[in-house]
Chain A
Amino acid sequence: MTFDKQIKRRDLLKASAMLGIAGAAGSTAPSLLMAEPAKPKEIIIRAWGGPWVEALKAGVSDPFTAKTGIRVRHDLTEDNEIQPKVWAAVAQKRTPPIHINWDTTTNATKSALRGVCEDLSDLPNLKGTTDLAKPVGVDGYPIVNTYGYVYVLAYRPSAFPSGPPESYHDLLDPKFKGRLAFYNDGIGFHFPAQVAGGGKLDGIPSNMQPCWDFVSKIKAQEPLLGEDPDFVTWFQNGEIDAACTISTNALGAKRNGVDIAWTIPKEGAKFDTDGLWIPRGHSEGDLYWSKEYINQALSKESQQIWLDGLGLPGVIPGLQPPTGLAGDPSYPTKPADFDRLIRISGKIQVENESEWFSKFKAIMQG
Chain B
Amino acid sequence: MRRNLSSYPLMWRLMDMLEAIFKKIWPKGGGFWSPYLMLSPAILLVGLLVLGLGYIGDASLRTLDTSTFLFSEEWSLTNYERALIEPFIRSVIWRSILGATIVTMITLLLAFPYTYVMVRTRSAFLRKFLLITLFLPFFIGQVVRAYGWLIILGKQGIVNDILGLVGIEPLRMLFNYPSVLFGLIQYMFPFAVLMLAPALTAIPEEIEAAAESLGASWVETMLHVIFPMAKSGMIGAGLVVLTLSLTDFAMPAILGGGTQDFVANAIYDQFFRTSDQGFGSSLAVLLIVIGSFLVWVVFVLVGAGTLAMGAKDK
**Direct contact, A vs B (beta carbon within 8 Å):** yes
Q: What mask results when residues 258 to 284 of chain B are scored 1 for a CB within 8 Å of chain A, else 0?
A: 111100000001011111110000000
Within 8 A of B (CB), among A134-157: none
Provide the residues of chain B in CB contact with A364, threshold 8 Å.
258-259
Q: What mask results when residues 60 to 82 of chain B are scored 1 for a CB within 8 Å of chain A, else 0?
A: 00001011111000000000000
Contact A184:B258 (CB < 8 A) given known A114-B70, A358-B86, A365-B88: yes
| Majority DSSP secondary structure for residues of B touching A | loop
Q: Are A238 and B175 in contact (CB under 8 A)?
A: no
Q: Are A80 and B258 in contact (CB under 8 A)?
A: no
Within the complex, which residue of B70, B155, B260, B273 is in contact with A185, where a contact is CB–CB below 8 Å?
Answer: B273
Q: Are B88 and A366 in contact (CB under 8 A)?
A: yes
Asked if A213 lies at the interface with its beta carbon under 8 angstroms from chain B, I say no
Within the complex, which residue of B67, B69, B154 is in contact with A239, where a contact is CB–CB below 8 Å?
Answer: B154
Asked if A110 lies at the interface with its beta carbon under 8 angstroms from chain B, I say yes
Q: Which range contains the number of A residues in contact with the other chain?
A: 35 or more
Provide the residues of chain B in CB contact with A361, threshold 8 Å.
88, 261, 269
Q: Are A225 and B156 in contact (CB under 8 A)?
A: no
| Majority DSSP secondary structure for residues of A touching B | helix
Asked if B302 lies at the interface with its beta carbon under 8 angstroms from chain A, I say no
Contact A224:B175 (CB < 8 A) given known A237-B150, A239-B154, A351-B66: yes
Q: Are A358 and B88 in contact (CB under 8 A)?
A: yes
Q: What mask results when residues 141 to 184 of chain B are scored 1 for a CB within 8 Å of chain A, else 0?
A: 00000010011001111000000000000001011000000000
Provide the residues of chain A in CB contact with B271, threshold 8 Å.
84
> CA of A80 to CA of B276 in the docked complex: distance in angstroms?
12
| Total A-B Cβ pairs within 8 A | 89
Asked if B34 lies at the interface with its beta carbon under 8 angstroms from chain A, I say no
Provide the residues of chain B in CB contact with A233, threshold 8 Å.
147, 150
Provide the residues of chain A in CB contact with B147, threshold 8 Å.
233
Provide the residues of chain B in CB contact with A62, threshold 8 Å.
none
Provide the residues of chain A in CB contact with B215, threshold 8 Å.
none
Within 8 A of A (CB), among B106-142: none
Contact A83:B272 (CB < 8 A) given known A237-B150, A362-B87: yes
Provide the residues of chain A in CB contact with B174, threshold 8 Å.
239
Task: Kindly report which residue of chain A lies nearest to residue B275, judged by CB atoms.
Answer: A110
Asked if A259 lies at the interface with its beta carbon under 8 angstroms from chain B, I say no
Asked if B186 lies at the interface with its beta carbon under 8 angstroms from chain A, I say no
Least CB distance from A267 to B in Å reads: 22
Provide the residues of chain A in CB contact with B277, threshold 8 Å.
84
> CA of A312 to CA of B261 in the docked complex: distance in angstroms?
33
Within the complex, which residue of B69, B70, B86 is in contact with A350, where a contact is CB–CB below 8 Å?
Answer: B69
Asked if A288 lies at the interface with its beta carbon under 8 angstroms from chain B, I say no
> CA of A365 to CA of B147 in the docked complex: distance in angstroms?
23
Counting chain A CB atoms within 10 Å of each CB, which of B175, B260, B276, B277 scores highest? B175
Asked if A178 lies at the interface with its beta carbon under 8 angstroms from chain B, I say yes
Q: What mask results when residues 35 to 54 of chain B are scored 1 for a CB within 8 Å of chain A, else 0?
A: 00000000000000000000
Asked if B291 lies at the interface with its beta carbon under 8 angstroms from chain A, I say no
Provide the residues of chain B in CB contact with A78, threshold 8 Å.
272
Count of B residues near A, CB < 8 Å?
34
Q: Are A357 and B259 in contact (CB under 8 A)?
A: no
Asked if B257 lies at the interface with its beta carbon under 8 angstroms from chain A, I say yes
Asked if A207 lies at the interface with its beta carbon under 8 angstroms from chain B, I say no
Q: Are B88 and A110 in contact (CB under 8 A)?
A: no
> CA of A350 to CA of B92 in the docked complex: distance in angstroms?
25
Provide the residues of chain A in CB contact with B70, threshold 8 Å.
114
Q: Are A110 and B175 in contact (CB under 8 A)?
A: no
Asked if A353 lies at the interface with its beta carbon under 8 angstroms from chain B, I say yes
Q: What mask results when residues 178 to 194 of chain B are scored 1 for a CB within 8 Å of chain A, else 0?
A: 00000000000000000
Within the complex, which residue of B156, B261, B276 is in contact with A354, where a contact is CB–CB below 8 Å?
Answer: B276
Provide the residues of chain A in CB contact with B87, threshold 8 Å.
362, 366
Contact A354:B274 (CB < 8 A) given known A113-B68, A237-B157, A238-B156: yes
Task: Kindly report which residue of chain B lies nearest to residue A222, judged by CB atoms.
Answer: B259
Q: Are B88 and A80 in contact (CB under 8 A)?
A: no
Least CB distance from A158 to B in Å reads: 13
Least CB distance from B177 to A in Å reads: 11
Q: Are B88 and A225 in contact (CB under 8 A)?
A: no
> CA of A101 to CA of B85 in the docked complex: distance in angstroms?
36
Q: Are B91 and A83 in contact (CB under 8 A)?
A: no
Provide the residues of chain A in CB contact with B175, threshold 8 Å.
224
Q: Are A357 and B155 in contact (CB under 8 A)?
A: no
Asked if A128 lies at the interface with its beta carbon under 8 angstroms from chain B, I say no
> CA of A61 to CA of B276 in the docked complex: distance in angstroms?
33
Mind listing 26 A-B residue pairs with CB under 8 Å?
Answer: A80-B275, A83-B275, A84-B272, A111-B69, A113-B68, A114-B70, A185-B274, A224-B175, A224-B258, A224-B259, A233-B150, A237-B150, A237-B156, A239-B154, A350-B66, A350-B69, A357-B269, A357-B274, A358-B86, A361-B88, A362-B86, A364-B259, A365-B91, A365-B92, A365-B259, A365-B261
Task: Beyond the given A233-B147, A358-B88, please list 10 additional residue pairs across the A-B interface where CB-CB is below 8 A.
Answer: A80-B272, A84-B275, A107-B275, A224-B175, A237-B151, A353-B66, A357-B273, A358-B86, A365-B88, A365-B260
Which residues does A use to contact B, with CB under 8 Å? 78, 80-81, 83-84, 107, 110-111, 113-115, 178, 184-185, 222, 224-226, 230, 233, 237-239, 350-354, 357-358, 361-362, 364-366
